Amino acid sequence: MSTITVVGSMNMDIVLQVDAFPKPGETIAGKGTKMNPGGKGANQAVAAARLGGNVKMLGAIGEDSFSEQLLHSLKKDQIQINDIVQKNSTSGLAFITVAENGDNHIVLEEGANGELTVEDVRERLDFTNKNQTILLQNEIPWNVNECIIKEASANQIPVYLNPAPAKEIPSELYPLLTGIFLNESEANMLTGVEVRDRHSVQEAIDILLQRGTEEVIITMGKDGAYYADNSGEFFHTTASDVRVVDTTAAGDTFIGAYLVMFTEGKSPKERIEFSSKAAGITVTRSGAQESIPRMGEVQL
């Protein structure tokens, strides 16, 4: 089976439940706090592994009490962790406030994630191995992502980018990407189009395809997901009709699920439908990694 190589962040998520978000200057009572392993890179790796993928994680942790917990959370899902680097710093932290309606606010402290270097990656990532697909996010230094995108493309290795948190992508990198995953705000930031409906989604997608990427996937929460590629295929898939508890890892679940279906050679429609089902399960549960479903739970 083709390997899914995730290069990205690992965080300890400190999750605070509240009735509603406080206004500026307001103090409110919390309804409970949990500490759970997270980070976009780790969450996407866990999602891919639980949904049947052969997954390898590359990233950085600190020398603190959280590092063993972060590694253990990956190992228990059979994710390869031999290439994770330990830095003389703190591990990444995410402070997440979740409101009663399931919305969340997140503040990131990058910690060791911000210390991953190009040299770390070059020593550990085998660019001669074409039997892999690489998945990236924006919670590690951009120069590391840029190096990987260029090397992967030069070696004909598929590479997908989830540019979250959103930041500009140099124009010369778009043609090197196999695909890009975006939510509404990320699509707006990268294209200048306020994504609200099918027409505006099509407009944003056209801009991104014209820049050269092969596939564009835009996720819109309860409004489903859109797929388009440079062959002219374009379609929309509806979201699952479920009671939303917590949206924290929904996007990460969608992306991990998609990569599994991609490496199994499934069609774009099969990939999106499976990913939407998996994400629909995630939002019915609290937390990040603990909310991500396993293959047997996702019924098409």
Give bridge partners of residue 107 from the DSSP assignment: 95
* Active-site residue (options: 13, 77, 246, 252): 252
Tell the residue number behind the tokens 């997140």, with chain if given.
Answer: 106
Give bridge partners of residue 16 from the DSSP assignment: 33, 97
In angstroms, the Cα distances linking 217 to 75, 101, 214 are 29, 26, 10
3-class DSSP state of 37: strand
- For residue 134, give the nearest of 1, 36, 10, 45 by alpha carbon: 45
Task: State how beta strands 33-38 and 225-229 pair.
Answer: unpaired
The whole-angstrom separation of Cα 48 and Cα 40 is: 12
**Does the annotation mark 252 as catalytic?**
yes
3-class DSSP state of 226: strand
DSSP state of 114: G
Helix ranges (DSSP H) in the chain: 40-50, 67-75, 118-124, 142-154, 184-191, 198-210, 250-263, 268-282
Tell the residue number behind the tokens 């001669």, with chain if given.
Answer: 128
Dihedral angle, C-alpha 124, 126, 131, 136, nearest 10 °? 60
The whole-angstrom separation of Cα 279 and Cα 217 is: 14
The residues annotated with a catalytic role in the active site are 252
